[in-house]
Amino acid sequence: MRKGCAVKKTDVDLIVGASILVAICILIFGVLWLKEASLSRKMVDYAVLFPDVGTLQVGDPVMINGVTKGSVKNISLRKSDVAVILELDKSVLVTDSCRITIQNIGLMGERGVGLLYSERGTVVKPVQGKDTTFSRGSFDTGIAEAMAMLGTVLAEVQTLAGNLASIVEQTVGDSSFIPLFKEIVARLDTVVLAVQDLLGENRSAIDRSIDNLQAISEEAKLLLERNSSGIDSMIADGEVLTSRAVLIAGTVDTLTRSVRTMLDRFQDPESSVGKLLRDKELYRDLKTTVADLDTLVRNVREDALKLRIKFGFGKKRK
């Protein structure tokens, strides 16, 4: 009896152990199937920088044009950005023209990385040790961010409602506002009636003024049409005069620069003219020379007068 019980107990243990082992295998293969992973598929890593990741977590799916081809492997801060390591199927060639975005994929704020594939551009190298090439990604605001902003919006709406209530209390809610408003409306009604009476009394004069303005505009139009050629010629002459004025202005400008250059040369102490103007000895010599010349002229005049008198009185009369 004891031997039979021992054999039955051993069989039960084997069945339980085998059942547990089969359940573990089913669980493992089920998890792999749910994650759409394959033991034979090779995976590579790509590094992407995002300004924000929101509620993105490790293990979230990476979808290429909506098809899941990998998952998020690691998330870390890199200065002011967030570095995300994406584990993708090796058969997917990522280029620098691909658009990588963190997207909202669930109503409860679930996140995933969406990659809009493009064959154009240069192929991005996968992460290989320390040689890491970072791609640039963008962040798409989703439900979680909208819910976070809802509190701020509600606070602003509450403030706006309080301001509106204060305005209503100071205007319509004030007992003195209603009589003032009625008085303003009555005055406005009086002004409107006065304007209507003024327009009614002067309707004919206003009509004549409008007719006169229309006639003046027609006459002005006819005048312009008759003298269009003369106006065109005046405009052409004005253009010619303008061009000539520009030439004259250029000539005057050139002359002004020349005169300024000449004056600068006169004022330059190193120039010949400047040295002559600033030479005091030359000034004294010129002054002495002029004085001597004046004396010489006077002497010549006196000597000539003496010679004339001498020749005049010295002639013999026949």
- Residue 4 forms part of a structural domain: yes
d(CA 113, CA 48): 10
Residue 7: per-residue pLDDT: 52
Provide the mean pLDDT of the chain. Answer: 79
Q: Is the pLDDT of residue 40 over 90?
A: no
Same domain, 67 and 102: yes
Q: Is the pLDDT of residue 312 over 70?
A: no
Percent of the chain residues past pLDDT 90, beyond the cut: 8
Rounded to two decimals, the pTM is 0.39
Same domain, 77 and 47: yes
- Residue 206 forms part of a structural domain: no
pLDDT, tens digit, for every residue of 184-202? 888 888 888 888 888 888 8
- Residue 170 forms part of a structural domain: no
Residue 28: per-residue pLDDT: 82
- Residue 81 forms part of a structural domain: yes
Percent of the chain residues past pLDDT 70, beyond the cut: 81
Range of the domain at 82: 40-139
d(CA 295, CA 313): 27
Same domain, 5 and 82: no
Q: Is the pLDDT of residue 179 over 90?
A: no
Q: Within its chain, how far is the Cα of 43 from the centroid?
A: 44
- Calculate mean pLDDT across residues 65-73: 89
- In Å, how far are 83, 95, 113, 184 from 134, measured between CA atoms? 8, 12, 15, 69
Residue after which a domain boundary falls, among 139, 161, 196: 139
Domains in the chain, number = 2
- Calculate mean pLDDT across residues 241-264: 81
What's the pLDDT band for 318 if we cut at 50, 70, 90?
very low
Same domain, 89 and 71: yes
Q: Is the pLDDT of residue 50 over 90?
A: yes
Residues whose CB is less than 8 angstroms from the CB of residue 112 and which lie 6 or more positions away in sequence, other chains included? 56, 60, 61, 62, 63, 102, 103, 105
